[in-house]
Chains A and B, each alone.
Chain A
């Protein structure tokens, strides 16, 4: 394998919320630069927790996390994060432009008014994601797909080295989904992308590698799912999840000794 820099590295990570059983256990994972990693798995399997550990928003009880070669807290400012949309207050009084400008904000350097450079960057990313016309609109007035574009623009306004997205296509229609994947594929030309998704078609349409998360992480460095991953991650009913209309076969029989797969213990 070629020698690429590792953007995300987890080794032997264990995490539990106070007083409950571990959400993640024995997780080791490394994501080389330029990768498009799709993170899939059942609800409550620990996908979002994994992202929060990578971002340093949570600290593991065991094991280590490195982000862009450093402890996450030191490098998180170089990450463009697109959190799950569902937590947001839709009535919040804020314009599209002000949301995107949040990507230019840094808690360390207190600035009241965004600089002209900040405005320029914000304009550039809004243009790139096709939301420049909407800049004065309230975020609550936008469609789901438009709001996702705005969230991605805000993450890009960070000028990131790495994008982390949590379910960016969760409740958007199929066309919007395809458009968002198109955008993410383009971003992947210059950026490492890690995307949590419910949607297995994401693997076929953008991913270069897949991780199935269900307490442990099953990593596969090709855009394929093995039966073992699916069974480990989803348990008994994977078949339904392998949707119709996928351009190519996603479910791939695991070949012994291809050396490209690591797995944690289930």
Chain B
């Protein structure tokens, strides 16, 4: 692995891995604690609509995905706050609509786009320096927003009903939460693609959850797990010439199954 560092793309990939780990640790924790896994999956997949739009109009797919998933987050916040019990239906519909739009936009665009596979399954080895800066900026913005609103988000995540009686503006805070989830998810898409991202958002927090006594520590431990998966995955994909995104996910899944067996045996 060390000799690989002489390649600039590998150095970029490692840096990208760091930002993705941080984004995954923070956002994945909020996703798992708030039980938003399905919703985060929907936001990630619908980002494909933005990717298609960006290709059609000729701007950066990263920005397209970002814009589209932020819009999707607002739409979902509005729809699900009106009708909580139908939330999963809205997510399911928008999930498919986003992807369908992406496919049509790509149809309408001339030429063949090899980088589409990268967006679907991850492209951490092809991250450009410009994208790296954008990932860094967005991750830091997400981290600062979560830091400033930490107690509100904690109150909302643990018990929204009680939080509402403490004058926490639950519905606007929920919108903010979904926006943060969208932003963090798009950063993580850079590493493992929009189809696989949900595993990278959920496995690290689940491994962290039981050993932590606060959301903040869970965010830290999850980030460490994500970093481990990404670096181990990158190393394996370099050695054996495998697709990086899928390798990272399978490394995570391996730890997840070990952890499941271990907790199961301890409880039995």
Question: Does chain B have a CB within 8 A of A178?
Answer: no
- Point out the residue from B33, B164, B208, B217 that lies within 8 Å of A92, measured CB to CB: B33
Q: Chain A residues with Cβ under 8 A from B33's Cβ? A: 89, 92-93
Give complex CA distance A150, B136 in Å. 40
Give complex CA distance A217, B136 in Å. 57
Question: B165 touching A102 by the CB < 8 A rule?
Answer: no
- B33: min CB distance to chain A, Å: 6
Question: A77 touching B214 by the CB < 8 A rule?
Answer: no
Question: A107 touching B163 by the CB < 8 A rule?
Answer: yes
> In chain B, what residue has the closest Cβ to A138?
B213
- Point out the residue from A94, A103, A154 that lies within 8 Å of B215, measured CB to CB: A94
Give complex CA distance A16, B145 in Å. 36
Question: Does chain B have a CB within 8 A of A7?
Answer: no
Q: Chain B residues with Cβ under 8 A from A94's Cβ? A: 154, 158, 213-215
Question: B162 touching A91 by the CB < 8 A rule?
Answer: no
Question: Given A89-B33, A107-B166, A112-B150, A102 and B214 touching (CB < 8 A)?
Answer: no
- B200: min CB distance to chain A, Å: 19
Question: A87 touching B151 by the CB < 8 A rule?
Answer: no
Interface positions, chain A 82-115, Cβ under 8 Å from B, are: 83, 87-89, 91-95, 98-99, 102-103, 105-108, 110-112
**Chain B interface, number of residues (Cβ within 8 angstroms):** 30
19 of the cross-chain contacts (CB-CB < 8 Å) are A55-B165, A57-B161, A57-B164, A57-B165, A79-B165, A81-B161, A83-B162, A87-B159, A92-B157, A93-B208, A94-B154, A102-B154, A102-B163, A105-B151, A105-B166, A105-B168, A107-B166, A108-B167, A112-B150
Question: Does chain B have a CB within 8 A of A252?
Answer: no
Extra 19 A-B pairs, beta carbons < 8 Å, given A106-B166, A111-B151: A18-B82, A76-B165, A77-B167, A89-B33, A91-B210, A92-B158, A93-B218, A94-B154, A94-B213, A95-B213, A95-B214, A98-B154, A102-B159, A103-B166, A107-B166, A107-B168, A107-B169, A136-B213, A154-B162
Q: Chain A residues with Cβ under 8 A from B131's Cβ? A: none
Question: A76 touching B159 by the CB < 8 A rule?
Answer: no
Question: A93 touching B166 by the CB < 8 A rule?
Answer: no
